[in-house]
Amino acid sequence: MTLPAPAPLALTMGEPAGIGAEIAAAAWRLLRATGPAFVLLDDAARIAALPGGCPVERVATPEDAARAFPQALPVLHRPLPAPAVPGRPDPANAPAVIAAIAEAVALAQAGRVAGLVTNPIQKATLYAAGFAHPGHTEYLAELAGTGRPPVMLLACPSLRVVPVTIHLPLRRAIETLTTGAIVETARITAEALRRDFGIARPRLALAGLNPHAGEDGTMGTEDAAIVAPAVAALRAEGIEARGPLPADTMFTPRARAGYDAALGMYHDQALIPIKTLDMDGGVNVTLGLSVVRTSPDHGTALDIAGTGRADPGSLVAALRLAAEIAANRARAA
């Protein structure tokens, strides 16, 4: 008996002036023989014209994409209103960028793609065009949320991190940090580590907010007042959690061996370690959605767009991880 081929993944265009198109073409070259198959939602004419690009096939449906993938990069043609000039984002293209994300979600919700992988967006350009969400994570929660907060997890082979607060100014992140938010983020993380990553008994490490995790209250009170009660509540629920740990020593190789995911209290506390360790292999996964979503960990890289210097490693890892999570969820269903 021949098993049906898994549905392809949907890859969104991201910022047309960024490196998304060139890393999509490079990822296709690397994955065409092995998969996972994906279909790109973008302007097919501009993809076909990329210098050093790849064969392109305009497809009408994701189902056609699975057939076309070994021979050519399948593209669901979504024309851009303005030319894509490397390094120079144009807000006129913002509606097409946003529409591609919404369409990929709809395809995933209908089961026509196995999940979505998003190319990076230029956030300020979308804001200038009226986009009201800090980033994909929050927009996806509106489109495909489950009633729980979206959680951003970044993963590479040697580390997984989760920021409890995401795209907030640092002052606001500290003001809004609560024990309840930490507990809910940790719960969602533990569930995802079990279901999506196959870790039967996940171990979580929670960073303190202040230097030295507050040094017994002499360097800040939030560690004892907010983080420590969250750790106690998680342990009472049977989740293996430790902390608050001093953030400056919890990412050493020895410390990393003791946990499956580290929770940082704010964006940079969690993301600096993983981007420093593995910028080209890190993957961003949104937890707490009804669909599978991953993305490369990097941004639009406007400074090198169009030069051919962009590394496709993180996108390839994002495509592979999305396929793996989709397969794990299908097995568990």
Ligand X SMILES: NCC(=O)COP(=O)(O)O
Ligand Y SMILES: NC(=O)C1=CN([C@@H]2O[C@H](COP(=O)(O)OP(=O)(O)OC[C@H]3O[C@@H](n4cnc5c(N)ncnc54)[C@H](O)[C@@H]3O)[C@@H](O)[C@H]2O)C=CC1
Annotated binding site for substrate: 136-137, 275, 284, 293
Q: CA-to-CA distance for 47 and 28, rounded, in angstroms?
A: 12
Does residue 245 contact residue 124 with C-beta atoms inside 8 Å? no
Interface residues toward ligand Y, by CB under 6 A: 19, 23, 120-124, 136, 284, 295, 298-301, 303-304, 310-311, 314
In the complex, minimum distance from the CB of residue 303 to ligand Y, in angstroms, rounded to a whole number: 5
Does 271 participate in binding ligand X (rule CB under 6 A)? yes
In the complex, minimum distance from the CB of residue 276 to ligand Y, in angstroms, rounded to a whole number: 12
Helix (H) or strand (E) holding 29: helix 20-31
Nearer to ligand X, 165 or 295 (CB): 295
Specify binding-site residues for a divalent metal cation: 167, 212, 267
Does residue 301 contact residue 313 with C-beta atoms inside 8 Å? no
Q: CA-to-CA distance for 129 and 119, rounded, in angstroms?
A: 18
Nearer to ligand X, 107 or 153 (CB): 153
In the complex, minimum distance from the CB of residue 210 to ligand Y, in angstroms, rounded to a whole number: 25
Does 122 participate in binding ligand X (rule CB under 6 A)? no
Tokens linked to 230:
């969250």
In the complex, minimum distance from the CB of residue 69 to ligand Y, in angstroms, rounded to a whole number: 22
**Within 10 Å of residue 254's Cβ, how many Cβ atoms?**
7
Nearer to ligand X, 136 or 187 (CB): 136
Does residue 71 contact residue 37 with C-beta atoms inside 8 Å? no
Q: CA-to-CA distance for 4 and 174, rounded, in angstroms?
A: 49
Q: Rounded to 5 degrees, what are φ and ψ at 9?
A: -90, 155
Nearer to ligand X, 26 or 117 (CB): 117
Nearer to ligand X, 93 or 284 (CB): 284
Question: Comparing C-alpha atoms, which of 126, 104, 165 is closest to residue 322?
Answer: 104
Does 12 participate in binding ligand X (rule CB under 6 A)? no
Q: Which residues contact ligand X (rule: CB under 6 A)?
A: 135-137, 271, 284, 295
